Amino acid sequence: MKRYEFLEHVSDAYIAAYGKTLEEAFQNAAEAMFQTMIETKTVALTLEETVTAEGHDREALLYNWLETLLLKFDIEGNVYSKFEIEKIEKRNSGFALEATIRGEPYNADKHKPKVEVKAVTYHQMEIKEQIKGYEIKFILDL
């Protein structure tokens, strides 16, 4: 099963991410977002951090997960290429996830920047459970 693919879009990055589980699909969505910005295979795994996100539904959880990672890049200057979601759980208030992310400080010479991702959007966001797993679609504003 492919992890993600870039779909046709006029001006933004339209991504489909896949996984046998919802956790795996969210992991692949995060990798695809960083692959949009940089060449992820150049990222060494020298930093390890724990990240949490919450949302009132699965779409809000996806948005908050990706937005948290994008803010870590913008504010802390780190890039990531390995994402391990320990769990996504349903709570009374919605959904929550806990993940371990790995990467290193951003270096333009090493990481080969591609395009700037300004924001994650809800536009055309979909999370579908299928026979073979999950398919997630979302758009990144460039």
Instruction: State the DSSP string of 55-79.
Output: ESSHHHHHHHHHHHHHHIIIII-EE
**What is d(CA 94, CA 92) in angstroms, rounded to the nearest whole number?**
6
> 3-state class of 18 per DSSP?
strand
User: In the predicted model, is pLDDT for residue 28 greater than 90?
Assistant: yes
Assess if residue 34 is contained within a domain.
yes
Please tell me the predicted confidence (pLDDT) of residue 9. 87
- Is residue 2 in a domain? no
Task: Look up the CATH number of the domain holding residue 35.
Answer: 3.55.10.10
Per DSSP bridges, beta strands 126-130 and 4-7 are unpaired
pLDDT value of position 10: 85
CA angle 68, 14, 140 (to 5 degrees): 30
The whole-model pTM stands at 0.96
Query: Is 4 inside a domain boundary?
Result: no
Query: Strand, helix or coil at 41?
Result: helix
What are the pLDDT digits (tens) for 40-64?
A: 999 999 999 999 999 999 999 999 9
Question: Structural domain of residue 80, as residue ranges?
Answer: 10-141
Instruction: Give the phi and the psi of residue 7 in degrees, each rounded to 5.
Output: -100, 165
Asked whether residue 3 is assigned to any structural domain, the reply reads: no
Do 110 and 32 touch, CB atoms closer than 8 A?
no
C-alpha to C-alpha distance for 44 and 88, rounded to whole angstroms: 26
Q: Specify whether the CB–CB gap between 102 and 47 falls below 8 A.
A: yes
Structural domains in the chain (count): 1
pLDDT digits (tens, 9 = 90+) for 81-116: 999 999 999 999 899 999 999 999 999 999 999 999
